[in-house]
Amino acid sequence: MNNATLAIKDPIVEVKDLRFYYGASEALHNVNIAFPRRQVTALIGPSGCGKSTFLRCLNRMNDLVDGSRVVGSIRLNGTDIHSSAMDVIELRRRVGMVFQKSNPFPKSIYENVIYGLRIAGVKDRAFLDETVEKSLKGAALWDEVKDRLHDSALGFSGGQMQRLCIARAIAVNPEVILMDEPCSALDPKSTARVEELIGELRKDFTIIIVTHNMQQAARVSDYTAFLYEGLLIEYGLTDKIFMKPKNKQTEDYITGRFG
Amino acid sequence: MSRKFWREGEPLVWGTAAALTVTLLIAATLVIVVLVNGLGVFWPAPVASATLAGGSRVMGEIVRSEPVPGGDGERLQFKIGNRDLYGLDFRWIDASAIASLDRPRDALVLERQEHGNFYGTLLDVSGPTAAGLDGDPASRLATLRKITERRQAEIDEVGDELSDLNARIVGLTTKRRELLHNGALPDAPALQELQGQAAALRAVYEEDLARQEQMFADLQEYTATVADASGTEKVIPLAAIVRAYRPNAMTWVEKVLFYLSKLKELLLGEPRESNTEGGLFPAIFGTVMLIFLMTLVTFPLGVMAAVYLREYAREGMVVRLVRIAVNNLAGIPSIVYGIFGLAFFIYGIGASIDQVFFSERLPTPTFGTGGILWASLTLALLTVPVVIVATEEALGAIPAGVREGSLALGATKFQTLTRTLLPMASPGIMTGLILAMARAAGEVAPLMITGVVKLAPALPLDGQFPFLHLDRKFMHLGFHIYDIAFQSPNAEAARPMVFVTTLLLVLIVLGMSSVAIVLRNRMKKRYTYGTF
């Protein structure tokens, strides 16, 4: 099983012996993985393999699930995210998340982007304006919406709304951005734009992306991890995983024999 | 063929359509009956004068006609008025007994403060300043009525002064009782001074009262001499006349103006004649204020309870039980709430408040008796389940993604709730509030034992310190309907007012709901999640 381990120098997130329980059933079995800084890592695997559960452990979104329990350690820049030194609010500010279904708030574009700053109590108008512009540019949305920043965010296309959610995530300047199948509800054209965006974002952020789409994983990621039934089966450079998978199950999944 | 008929559910389609039609028809009938009967009440009806076969004459409004029970032909119901002369306002006359029927142009209707309408003809007017007047009696009547109205206004002014003085004297008396209650001796200087002040005020009061009585006696000297259909003469003081008009001689424009003046009286005036005539202002005011106070309580209470239940309480046996209990609360008969309000609010809390804060007024209760506060709290209790259920459903209908999106940005649960979830749930919450308001507006039973009265001496909100008198009893349109329809000594005369009051209550509920619906739609536009 330990063929999955991969030595990463100076990892930003380091997961050790992670077990995750929904009530009595164990959904993740002893996962060990380290994520490299300013790289895109894709998590692939068939439905129900625990990719999303794993992703949600990284910003403790699973805390919201009744009866869930985490064993093992997850370190963000060396600090255990479950330790008292790390507040969950602080963690979520440092580890942003983009969801499968775009979920803008029923507010203006402007208010959506600065939501994270507002709840953190930032009031400096000039700084907020600057952040909105920077984030929307970062999410390649600025040119499309700069004239209607104060319009409701709900009147946009799916792709635009998803990019707005990305802008919202990067506005608080997180260290890591988690993406949970960000393109699964988008048409091919919007998907291409988001993928392009991910390529841009990796210059500044560490990105961990869950995807069902093998081609997408191959296109956007530097590293790929394959999970199957709660186990990390194989983890390595994307090129290697897709060209020469060491594990039979990985190969079967990638070549489409199951999943 | 017939198999296809059944397979396509044809009978069911017809059944559903029929069910809807029946429902609509019933609702429409109700609305039309109320509209037809309510809107026409104030239109000046023509006055008919009938000469009967025996030679006697009858004058009045023809209210309706119906076949003679157990006989032939028709019979007409006349509103003959003149209750002081005949004892009854209405009379049935067989059409066959009427020799001739006409509408004399000089037929006069006097709307009076007491004894209902007078139908007859004007003979003469007299009064201290009438000597120099000339012209026909009708124009002299109009001139003198202007004078008496002005004098009446002066008398009312003195009356206001009197009630002001009275309030001050009562205040002094209360203060005195307070001092005595707190152990002051009857001959203490403070008490002596209070007594002196009260005596001075009482002297002014007596003086004003005498002045008012003199003014009133002077006013009584202005009179009109009128004769009824059979020629019986009657002298009526002008002060007792509210309106004098000749419906048969009125032009269309005059009738419209008359209608508007009656409508104005209805909306802004005080009731007369044991509530069967005059205005409904105190009842309108009481109804609106009651619902407003109820909303002030039920809205925050219901929303907060629902938020806890949905967002903070851990799902489990207890929460499920609470939810079932809340849902069933809505099914408890309202009179039970009324009794609870009486026992808990009035005899429990109200009596305790009296013990602590108003002990000097005991045994006269202040809050320990029915009042608008207790009635609105009782209604709030009655409607809070509606708000809770609506709020819970609205919160539950918000996509999980929004909640997660907010939390994932580092928002606390509380921030998520106040900044995102509650605004998004607001249209649903408003719907609940509309339902609650509509339910509260229609309730009468619990009010009857928690503070509604047939005739309230003062409004719960007025110019007297402390302006808002939550302990006061109040009038209510719903109770008004019950009261004049079933408790009135003169049910036939009260009939038009029943319809008017019903119409008004329906309009008020409609008005308040419309405002809430407009608000809700605005929120919906702002906060509803677009699908893509």
> What is the DSSP annotation of B494-522?
HHHHHHHHHHHHHHHHHHHHHHHHHHHHH
- Asked which of A97-111, A213-227, B183-197, B468-482 is least confident by mean pLDDT, the reply is B183-197
CA of A173: which chain B residue's CA is closest? B409
Shared domain for B290 and B213, answered yes or no, is no
Given a contact cutoff of 8 angstroms between Cβ atoms, the answer to whether B264 and B163 are in contact is no
Token code pair at residue B246:
């000749």
Shared domain for B373 and B510, answered yes or no, is yes
Size of interface A-B (CB pairs under 8 A): 78
CA of A58: which chain B residue's CA is closest? B408
Is A106 an 8 Å CB contact of chain B? yes
Query: Do B409 and A89 count as a contact with CB atoms less than 8 A apart?
Result: no
Q: Please tell me the total number of residues recorded for chain A in this structure.
A: 259
- Examine the pLDDT at B526 and tell me if it is beyond 90: no
Shared domain for B361 and B398, answered yes or no, is yes
**Neighbouring residues of B527: CB distance < 8 A, sequence distance ≥ 6:** A106, B423, B424, B426, B427
Confidence band (pLDDT; 50, 70, 90) for B506? confident
CATH code at position B509: 1.10.3720.10
Shared domain for B352 and B448, answered yes or no, is yes
Enumerate residues 163 to 192 of chain A having a beta carbon within 8 A of any beta carbon in chain B. Answer: 165, 168-169, 172
Residue B320 domain flag: yes
Residue B226 domain flag: no
Shared domain for B332 and B406, answered yes or no, is yes
Given a contact cutoff of 8 angstroms between Cβ atoms, the answer to whether A237 and A36 are in contact is no
Residue B308 domain flag: yes
Residue B28 domain flag: no
Distance CA B80, CA B60 (A): 4
Greater pLDDT, A39 or B177: A39
For an interface test with B, give the residue of A103, A118, A122 to mutate (most B CBs within 10 A): A103
Query: Do B399 and A101 count as a contact with CB atoms less than 8 A apart?
Result: yes
Please give the DSSP secondary-structure letter assigned to residue A152.
B
Distance CA A30, CA A15 (A): 10
Distance CA B362, CA B365 (A): 6
Residue B277 domain flag: no
Q: Which residues of A touch B424 (CB under 8 A)?
A: 106
Please give the DSSP secondary-structure letter assigned to residue B492.
H
**Residue finishing a domain among B89, B104, B119:** B104
Torsion of CA B226, B228, B231, B235, to 10 degrees: -30
Strand duo A231-237 + B277-278: pairing: unpaired
Distance CA B474, CA B470 (A): 10
Given a contact cutoff of 8 angstroms between Cβ atoms, the answer to whether B49 and B107 are in contact is yes
CA of A87: which chain B residue's CA is closest? B410
Which residues is A206 bridged to in the sheet? Answer: A176
Model pLDDT, residue A3 = 45
| Shortest distance, CA B516 to any CA of chain A (angstroms) | 21
Is A59 an 8 Å CB contact of chain B? yes
Shared domain for B294 and B387, answered yes or no, is yes
- Examine the pLDDT at B344 and tell me if it is beyond 90: yes
Distance CA B246, CA B257 (A): 14
Q: Which residues of B touch A169 (CB under 8 A)?
A: 408-409
For an interface test with A, give the residue of B312, B319, B409, B528 to mutate (most A CBs within 10 A): B409
Residue B89 domain flag: yes
Phi, psi of B134 (to 5 degrees): -130, -170
Query: Do A115 and B419 count as a contact with CB atoms less than 8 A apart?
Result: yes
- Classified as helix, coil or strand, B84 is helix
Residue B117 domain flag: no
- Among B408, B419, B528, the residue with its CB nearest the CB of A97 is B408
- Among B405, B406, B410, the residue with its CB nearest the CB of A120 is B410
**Neighbouring residues of B236: CB distance < 8 A, sequence distance ≥ 6:** B110, B112, B118, B223, B224, B225, B226
Burial class of B291 by CB neighbour count within 10 A (0 to 12, 13 to 18, 19+): buried
For an interface test with B, give the residue of A100, A118, A119, A181 to mutate (most B CBs within 10 A): A119
Distance CA A10, CA A147 (A): 42
- Classified as helix, coil or strand, B241 is strand
- Asked which of A186-190, A238-242, B272-276, B521-525 is least confident by mean pLDDT, the reply is B272-276
- Among B410, B424, B532, the residue with its CB nearest the CB of A106 is B424
Count of domains for chain B: 3
B60 lies in which domain range?
48-104
Percentages helix, strand, coil for chain B (3-state, rounded to 5) are 60, 15, 25
Query: Do A168 and B409 count as a contact with CB atoms less than 8 A apart?
Result: yes
Shared domain for B156 and B82, answered yes or no, is no
Query: Do B408 and A92 count as a contact with CB atoms less than 8 A apart?
Result: yes
Given a contact cutoff of 8 angstroms between Cβ atoms, the answer to whether A136 and A113 are in contact is yes
Q: Which residues of A touch B528 (CB under 8 A)?
A: 106, 154
**What's the one-letter identity of residue B322?**
V
Shared domain for B64 and B210, answered yes or no, is no
Residue B10 domain flag: no
Shared domain for B96 and B207, answered yes or no, is no
Which tens digit of pLDDT belongs to each residue from B34-80?
888 888 888 898 899 888 888 888 899 888 888 888 878 888 888 88
Given a contact cutoff of 8 angstroms between Cβ atoms, the answer to whether A81 and A60 are in contact is yes
Is A96 an 8 Å CB contact of chain B? yes
Q: Report ipTM (2 d.p.).
A: 0.89
Model pLDDT, residue B100 = 86
Which tens digit of pLDDT belongs to each residue from B436-459?
988 888 889 999 999 888 887 778
| Residue B4 neighbours by CB distance under 10 Å | 8
Given a contact cutoff of 8 angstroms between Cβ atoms, the answer to whether B155 and B191 are in contact is no
Q: Which residues of B touch A96 (CB under 8 A)?
A: 408-409
Q: Please enumerate residues of B whose Cβ is less than 8 A from a Cβ of A.
A: 314-315, 399, 401-402, 404-412, 415, 419-420, 423-424, 526-530, 532
Token code pair at residue B11:
């009978």
| Shortest distance, CA A196 to any CA of chain B (angstroms) | 22
Range list of β-strands (E), chain A:
13-22, 25-35, 40-44, 68-76, 79-80, 95-98, 176-180, 206-210, 223-228, 231-237
- Among A99, A161, A172, the residue with its CB nearest the CB of B404 is A99
- Residue A142: which of A120, A111, A107, A167 has the closest Cα? A167
Shared domain for B97 and B166, answered yes or no, is no
Is A154 an 8 Å CB contact of chain B? yes
Q: In the block, which residue shows the tokens 């020799």?
A: B99
Give me the percent of chain B exceeding a pLDDT of 70: 98
Q: Which residues of B touch A120 (CB under 8 A)?
A: 410
Assigned architecture for domain A2-101+175-254: 3-Layer(aba) Sandwich (3.40)
Model pLDDT, residue B379 = 93
Query: Do A97 and B528 count as a contact with CB atoms less than 8 A apart?
Result: no
Full-model pTM:
0.80
- Among B412, B529, B532, the residue with its CB nearest the CB of A158 is B532
Ordered mean pLDDT values, 10 residues apiece, chain A (259 residues) = 63 90 89 91 89 90 86 89 87 91 88 91 90 88 88 84 90 91 85 88 91 89 91 90 87 79
H helix or E strand, kind and range, residue B119: strand B118-126
Distance CA A178, CA A52 (A): 10
Q: In the block, which residue shows the tokens 């009854």?
A: B88
- Examine the pLDDT at B434 and tell me if it is beyond 90: no
| Shortest distance, CA A175 to any CA of chain B (angstroms) | 13
**Residue finishing a domain among B104, B136, B168:** B104
Model pLDDT, residue B530 = 46
Query: Do B405 and A96 count as a contact with CB atoms less than 8 A apart?
Result: no
Is A208 an 8 Å CB contact of chain B? no
Model pLDDT, residue B532 = 34
Shared domain for B357 and B449, answered yes or no, is yes
Shared domain for B301 and B435, answered yes or no, is yes
Which tens digit of pLDDT belongs to each residue from B208-228?
899 889 988 888 888 888 888
Token code pair at residue A89:
């609010």
